[in-house]
Amino acid sequence: MKPATPIVITTAALSSSLAFAQIPTPGIVVSPENRSGDAKMHELISMPKTAADFIKNIKYAFDNNLFLDDRFFEKSNVCKAFSIDEKACDPHEVHLPDGTHGMTLGANIEMFAQEPISNQPNSTQHHHPKHAGHRSTAQILIDNRIDPNGVVSGGINFTTQRGGPDFMKTVQILNVNLTESIEMPPHGKIPIPVTGPHGDETWRYEISTEHLKKKLVIGFLSDGTLESMLVEIYEIGGHQ
């Protein structure tokens, strides 16, 4: 990563003309204190239709600690949340030698790089399919773990090489206090030429509460579009 002066992105620091994407708050917030409820989780999640929608769903899961909830890993929920083809969607149990167990899911997915174009009568674009723009392949790995002490953790690792939202759109969606991570390139390595604003940058957000530690790290390609997103959530203390 190129050297730079650390900055903190806050809501106030951005132009007031920006309309921040607001993720609807569901009736149930999944947390160590509240992992039950009558509402069905699939009713709280919308299937993404654009790359931005996909990032919104990651943020939704991050805000509501869904990566700690077994119900989120049911096929009908996790496949819908990330538009994974049903035939390729195979969340399965994992059991490690040390007694750690949980759920995991890895998949390649297709995202639409541009917003959908509606088919309006008499439109000059009526011949285009509903989802316009090129598709982009992304890779995701989602997991949930319970260690021998009962400590629950979960998260997602997402990467793509094309079609992600740009820096400003990503910041609008996440709407958290991001701090740039400054990493010097390895000795002898030539930095990648930057071709767009915030190209080849990494930003992070971390928060700790009485019960949880949460981390979100985002990286951008040289052209300033989103390349990766890492989410990690840890329950503190385990089960007493």
For 122-166, write each residue's pLDDT tens digit. Answer: 444 333 333 344 566 789 999 999 999 899 999 999 998 888 899
**Whole-angstrom distance, CA of residue 109 vs CA of residue 158:** 10
Contact 77, 28 (CB under 8 A): no
Q: Which residues are 204's β-sheet partners? A: 179, 217
Measure the CA dihedral 148/144/77/205, to 10°: 140
**Whole-angstrom distance, CA of residue 62 vs CA of residue 75:** 19
Q: Which residues are 152's β-sheet partners? A: 146
pLDDT at 192: 78
Strands (E), 101-177: 101-112, 135-146, 152-160
Whose tokens are 């160590």? That residue is: 32
Cα 38–chain centre separation: 26
* DSSP conformation letters of 6-61: --EE-TTTS-TT-----PPPPS---BTTB---SS-GGGS-----SHHHHHHHHHHH
Whose tokens are 């790089």? That residue is: 113
Q: Determine the Cα angle at 1 with ends 113 and 165, to 5°.
A: 15
pLDDT at 97: 93
User: Per this entry, what is the length of the chain?
Assistant: 240
Q: Which residues are 109's β-sheet partners? A: 138
Least confident of 47-56, 104-113, 210-219, 229-238: 104-113
pLDDT band at 87 (very low <50, low <70, confident <90, very high): confident
Least confident of 4-8, 62-66, 91-95, 104-108: 4-8
| Number of C-beta neighbours around residue 111 at 10 A | 26
At 61, which amino acid appears? A
**Whole-angstrom distance, CA of residue 134 vs CA of residue 111:** 9
**Whole-angstrom distance, CA of residue 93 vs CA of residue 102:** 6
> Where along the chain do its domains lie?
1-11+41-115+132-185+206-240
| Number of C-beta neighbours around residue 25 at 10 A | 11
pLDDT band at 112 (very low <50, low <70, confident <90, very high): low
> Six-digit token pair at 20?
């921040």
Greatest mean pLDDT among 74-78, 85-89, 160-164, 173-177: 173-177
